[in-house]
């Protein structure tokens, strides 16, 4: 708005910094590791909370050629960000009546159900177009995709006629647990349907792995890899140290510091008792910014690397921290409390809140001042 004298960073309660150079480096790490011919990027849910348009544009500059989103509107936004060249795959498939928009923007639908297949075939016949699609077959997730019975019926009855499938796809349910028996059961089930599918569509490729699957045997990688969460710095291998670079940092401003002059309780519901002399800082972040209420129980922020446990409940816009161990010189209105950073990763916040990094990232709030650290510009050959 014209006429404001303060900067957005001055006005915001918290600053979210997103490192696009780390994001693109994470994509390269996954690409080097992955045997797939095409390592793409899942940028659904607004790029896992980091900003799909910024993330996709940076990844495209790094060489990523295939982007995956959940919804058509996400696909439209990503198409706008990456231009006409890259593939944009919409994993929820076409809602009835949206087929023309897919075709107009060259968005590739995943066909998950018999209804979506029938709808896409009908549209393709009337529009006389050769639009590509991915056919999703369920191999053990029981979420989206044709059942084995439905798949067999489509093969037997010509139910795939008129399609131009880029790939057959399936999704792993337990890939972050390397030894989970469902991984191998899904891989075998997928290999079987893929060989049948290729009797009908010999050129069809295969898409099977998410982030964690890239750290399983290369037999899981197939042709089109679909990593998401690892791009954004969450550990895809929870049992071993994180091979990915951190992408997200979140710092919230201290509004007020007080030292309590008697033993007392803190926050809504008076759930946390503190002894006389405790130094408390009230910080401008809350559950309306995506910090789970459950983080109140075991969470901590950091000031100058010093751990400051949360005291009491997370409220809508504020969290209270015990800053007794921080020297007064580090505590003043506007001083920053690290919520996510070098002392507390996305995974740490998730563990303390009893959830997963995916949920922390995709809940990142709309009120933060967002600061993008640019990816290095690729040097063009003279
Ligand atoms: C179908 C599908 N493929 C790929 C992904 C990416 O998974 P991840 O974020 O674990 O890499 C997801 C994420 O939920 C998904 O639903």
Could you tell me the domains of the chain?
Answer: 34-232 (3.20.20.10), 248-373 (2.40.37.10)
What would the pLDDT profile of 273-329 be if each residue is shown by its tens digit?
A: 999 999 999 999 999 999 999 999 999 999 999 999 999 999 999 999 999 999 999
Q: Is 275 exposed, middle or buried (0-12, 13-18, 19+ CB in 10 A)?
A: exposed
d(CA 179, ligand 1 centre) in Å: 19
Atom of ligand 1 nearest to the CA of 176: 10
Q: What residues contact 68, with CB distance under 8 A and at least 6 apart?
A: 40, 41, 42, 43, 44, 88, 89, 91, 226, 228
Q: Provide the pLDDT for residue 149.
A: 98
d(CA 370, ligand 1 centre) in Å: 25
Beta-carbon neighbour count of residue 4 at 10 Å?
9
Does 9 have pLDDT greater than 80? Answer: yes
Supply the residues annotated as catalytic: 44, 268
Atom of ligand 1 nearest to the CA of 175: 10
User: Ligand 1: which of 68, 90, 138, 171 to mutate, judged by most atoms within 8 Å of the beta carbon?
Assistant: 171
Element (H, E) at 109: strand 107-111
Place of tokens 């006429």: 3
Question: Using CA positions, which residue lies closest to atom 13 of ligand 1?
Answer: 228
What's the mean per-residue pLDDT of the chain?
96
What would the pLDDT profile of 70-102 be if each residue is shown by its tens digit?
A: 999 999 999 999 999 999 999 999 999 999 999
d(CA 107, ligand 1 centre) in Å: 18
For residue 119, give both structure tokens: 């709808």
| Band of residue 129 on the pLDDT scale cut at 50, 70, 90 | low
Q: Provide the pLDDT for residue 15.
A: 97
* Pocket around ligand 1 at a 6 A CB cut-off: 42, 91, 171, 210-212, 226-230
User: Ligand 1: which of 228, 231, 236 to mutate, judged by most atoms within 8 Å of the beta carbon?
Assistant: 228
d(Cα 208, Cα 370) in Å, to the nearest integer? 33
DSSP per-residue letters across 319-352 = EEEE-TTS-GGG-STTPEEEEESSSS-HHHHHHH
d(CA 31, ligand 1 centre) in Å: 16
d(CA 40, ligand 1 centre) in Å: 11
Q: Please give the average per-residue pLDDT across 339-357, as a whole number.
A: 97
d(Cα 277, Cα 264) in Å, to the nearest integer? 10
DSSP per-residue letters across 143-163 = SSSB-HHHHHHHHHHTTTTT-
Question: Using CA positions, which residue lies closest to atom 2 of ligand 1?
Answer: 171
Q: Please give the average per-residue pLDDT across 150-160, as a whole number.
A: 97
Q: For residue 82, give Cα distances in angstroms to 14, 40, 71, 119, 228.
A: 29, 13, 16, 28, 17
Q: Provide the pLDDT for residue 243.
A: 97
Atom of ligand 1 nearest to the CA of 136: 1
Q: Provide the pLDDT for residue 379.
A: 62
User: Ligand 1: which of 33, 36, 39, 42 to mutate, judged by most atoms within 8 Å of the beta carbon?
Assistant: 42
Closest CA to 240 of 120, 124, 347: 347
Q: What residues contact 131, with CB distance under 8 A and at least 6 apart?
A: 102, 103, 106, 108, 120, 124, 164
d(CA 126, ligand 1 centre) in Å: 33
How far from the centroid of its chain's Cα atoms is residue 287's Cα? 19
Q: Determine what percent of the chain is predicted with pLDDT higher than 90.
A: 95
Identify the DSSP state of 39. E
Give pTM, 2 decimals.
0.96
Atom of ligand 1 nearest to the CA of 234: 9
Burial annotation 32-67 (CB, 10 A radius, 16+ → b, else e): ebbebebbbbbbbbbbbbbbbebbbbbbbbbebebb
Q: Provide the pLDDT for residue 375.
A: 81
Atom of ligand 1 nearest to the CA of 171: 1
Q: Provide the pLDDT for residue 185.
A: 98
Q: Please give the average per-residue pLDDT across 218-246, as a whole number.
A: 97
Q: Determine what percent of the chain is predicted with pLDDT higher than 70.
A: 97
What would the pLDDT profile of 238-247 be if each residue is shown by its tens digit?
A: 999 999 999 9
């Amino acid at each position: 708005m014209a006429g404001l004298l303060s900067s957005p960073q001055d006005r915001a309660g918290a600053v979210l910094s997103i490192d696009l150079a780390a994001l693109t480096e994470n994509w390269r790490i996954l690409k080097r590791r992955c045997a797939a011919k095409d390592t793409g990027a899942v940028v659904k849910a607004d790029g896992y909370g980091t900003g799909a348009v910024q993330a996709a544009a940076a990844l495209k500059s790094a060489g990523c050629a295939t982007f995956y989103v959940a919804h058509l509107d996400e696909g439209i936004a990503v198409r706008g960000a990456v231009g006409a060249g890259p593939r944009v795959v919409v994993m929820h498939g076409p809602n009835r009546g949206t087929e023309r928009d897919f075709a107009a923007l060259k968005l590739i639908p995943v066909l998950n159900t018999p209804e979506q297949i029938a709808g896409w075939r009908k549209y393709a016949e009337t529009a006389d177009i050769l639009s590509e699609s991915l056919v999703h077959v369920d191999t053990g997730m029981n979420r989206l995709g044709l059942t084995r019975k439905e798949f067999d019926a489509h093969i037997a009855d010509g139910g795939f006629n008129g399609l131009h499938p880029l790939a057959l796809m399936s999704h792993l349910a337990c890939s972050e647990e390397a030894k989970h028996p469902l991984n191998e059961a899904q891989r075998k089930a997928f290999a079987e349907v893929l060989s049948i599918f290729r009797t009908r569509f010999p050129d069809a490729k295969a898409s099977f792995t998410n982030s964690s699957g890239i750290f399983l045997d290369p037999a899981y990688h197939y042709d089109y890899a679909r990593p998401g969460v690892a791009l954004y710095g969450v550990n895809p291998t929870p049992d071993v140290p994180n091979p990915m670079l951190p992408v997200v940092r979140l710092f919230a401003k201290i509004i007020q510091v007080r030292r309590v002059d008697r033993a007392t309780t803190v926050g809504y519901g008076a759930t946390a008792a503190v002894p006389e002399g405790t130094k408390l800082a009230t910080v401008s972040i809350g559950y309306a910014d995506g910090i789970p209420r459950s983080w109140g129980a075991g969470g901590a922020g950091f000031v100058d690397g010093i751990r400051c446990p949360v005291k009491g409940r997370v409220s809508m816009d504020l969290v209270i921290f015990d800053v007794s161990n921080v020297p007064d010189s580090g505590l003043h209105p506007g001083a920053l409390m690290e919520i996510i950073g070098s002392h507390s990763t996305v995974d740490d916040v998730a563990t303390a809140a009893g959830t997963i990094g995916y949920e922390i990232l995709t809940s990142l709030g709309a009120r933060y001042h967002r600061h993008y650290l640019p990816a290095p510009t690729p040097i063009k050959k003279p």
